[in-house]
Amino acid sequence: MAANSRAALVTGANKGIGLEIVRQLSPKFQGTVYLTARDVGRGQEAEKKLQGDGLKNVKFLQMDVNDKKSIEKARDFIKEKHGGLDVLINNAGILKFVPATGPGLPAIDRSFEAVKDTIATNVTGVLDVCNAFFPILRDHARIVNVSSELGSLAYLKNEEVKKLLTKGDLTVKEVEQAAADYIKISEKGNAGIDLGYPEQFGPYGMSKILLNAVSRVQQRDLDQDKTRTDLVVNSCTPGYVATDLNNNSGHRTVQQGADTPVYLATLPPSSGGKPVEPRGEYVDERKVVNWLAGDGWVQM
Ligand SMILES: NC(=O)c1ccc[n+]([C@@H]2O[C@H](COP(=O)([O-])OP(=O)(O)OC[C@H]3O[C@@H](n4cnc5c(N)ncnc54)[C@H](OP(=O)(O)O)[C@@H]3O)[C@@H](O)[C@H]2O)c1
C-alpha cells in the first residue's frame, strides 16, 4: 500500500450507526475505510460482514476511545501505512440507563458513575482521539463529531455554563474544565439538575452539549493554523435511530441516521478560494442548525 494512500476512520463502528456509516462511506471513498471497535471479536465480525457484502476497502482496526494507548497505536498504524488521515468520524458513544424494571425505555442513570463514564467516552474519548489524529490529518481532511439533538443548548438552564460554552473565544481547555466541573458537581448525585444541568437524558445530553461546543472551537483552531489547508469539522445528529443505544426505540433507520455523517465526511475540497460549507456547524438532516440560539431540540 502506498504510504500516501487515502484513509478514513470511524470509531465505535462494529454496530449501529457507526457500522452503517462505514457501509455508506466505503463506496464513496477512494481509499481504505477503517472500521474501528474496542472489541477485536466484534470488530472482526463486522469487517467480515461488510467485506462479504463486497466492500473490500473496509478494514478492521482495534481502538477503544477510553484507552489512550490503543488510540496512539491505531494512529501510528495509519501514519505508517498511509502517511496521514483524510476522514475522521467520532461516532463511538454511550447512553446509560438504570436497569430496566419493565417494558419501554428505562430511566436515565444520573449517578456519579454514569456521569463519569458518559463524559469519559462521549467527550474525553473524542478529544483524545482528536489529539492523536489531528496532527496527521492531511489537507482537505473532514472531521465529523456524531452528537445528538439532546446536545441542544435548550436543555442547559445553567446560564453561566451556557455563556461560557457559547463565547467566541472558548478554548478546548475550557471545555475540558467545564466537563471536569460537571463531574465534580455530580458527586452529590442527580447530575446537577438543581444547578440547571440537563434534566432530560442528563449526563448524555450534557456530554453532547460539550461535544457541540468543542466542535466549533476545533474548527476555529484548525483555521488559525496556517500550515494547514481546508480542514473541516462539523458535529451532527443522526436523529432518533433504532439501535442498541436506546433499546431500539428510535423511529429512524440506521440508513437514515448515517446519511448526514457520511455527507459531512465527503464534503468536496474547497475550491476557488471559497471554503466549503458547512464548517464548524451543528448539522441535522444535512441542514445547519443555529446551535448557539438553542435550536435543534426535540419535544420529549
Ligand atoms: N441511536 C440514536 O438515536 C442516536 C441519536 C443521537 C445520537 N446518537 C449517537 O450516535 C452514535 C452511535 O450510536 P448508536 O445509536 O449507533 O449506538 P450503539 O448501537 O450502542 O453503538 C455504539 C458504538 O459505540 C461503541 N463504543 C462504546 N464505547 C466505546 C469505546 N470506549 N471505544 C470504542 N467504541 C465504543 C460501541 O461498541 P461496543 O459494541 O463494544 O459496545 C458501539 O460500536 C453515538 O455517538 C450516539 O450518541 C445516536
Residue nearest to atom 17 of ligand 1 (CA): 245
| 46 neighbors 35 (Cβ within 8 angstroms) | yes
% of residues, the chain, pLDDT over 70:
98
Question: Which atom of ligand 1 lies closest to the CA of 120?
Answer: 31
User: Residues 126-146: what's their mean pLDDT?
Assistant: 98
Q: How much is the mean pLDDT over the chain? A: 96
User: Residues 136-143: what's their mean pLDDT?
Assistant: 98
Which range of 16-25, 97-106, 195-204 scores highest in mean pLDDT? It is 16-25
**CA 92 centroid distance within chain:** 6
**pLDDT score of 3:** 73
Q: Is the CB of 190 under 6 A from ligand 1?
A: no
40-44, 60-64, 185-189: range with lowest mean pLDDT: 185-189
| 57 neighbors 32 (Cβ within 8 angstroms) | yes
Query: Quick check: helix, strand or coil at residue 35?
Result: strand
**pLDDT score of 296:** 87
The answer to whether residue 285 scores a pLDDT higher than 80 is: yes
Cell numbers for 114: 454514569
Secondary structure letter of residue 236 according to DSSP:
E
**pLDDT score of 2:** 67
**pLDDT score of 101:** 78
Question: Which atom of ligand 1 lies closest to the CA of 17?
Answer: 16
Query: Quick check: helix, strand or coil at residue 168?
Result: coil
Q: Is the CB of 151 under 6 A from ligand 1?
A: no
Quickly list H helices, 83-201: 112-119, 125-133, 159-166, 172-185
**pLDDT score of 95:** 97
| 156 neighbors 198 (Cβ within 8 angstroms) | yes
The answer to whether residue 273 scores a pLDDT higher than 90 is: no
CA of 3 to the centre of ligand 1 (A): 31
Question: Which atom of ligand 1 lies closest to the CA of 64?
Answer: 32
The answer to whether residue 161 scores a pLDDT higher than 70 is: yes
13-27, 94-108, 121-135: range with lowest mean pLDDT: 94-108
CA of 89 to the centre of ligand 1 (A): 12
Q: Annotated catalytic, 204? A: yes
For residue range 167-188, what is the model confidence (pLDDT) as tens digits? 999 999 999 999 999 999 999 9
Q: Is the CB of 124 under 6 A from ligand 1?
A: no
**pLDDT score of 102:** 72
| 299: confidence class by pLDDT, cuts 50, 70, 90 | low
Specify the amino acid at residue 84.
G
User: Residues 241-248: what's their mean pLDDT?
Assistant: 94
Q: Is the CB of 246 under 6 A from ligand 1?
A: yes
Q: Domains in the chain, please, with CATH?
A: 7-293 (3.40.50.720)
Cell numbers for 170: 472558548
Calpha distance 200→290 (Å, rounded)? 20
Q: Is the CB of 91 under 6 A from ligand 1?
A: yes
Secondary structure letter of residue 279 according to DSSP:
-
CA of 93 to the centre of ligand 1 (A): 4
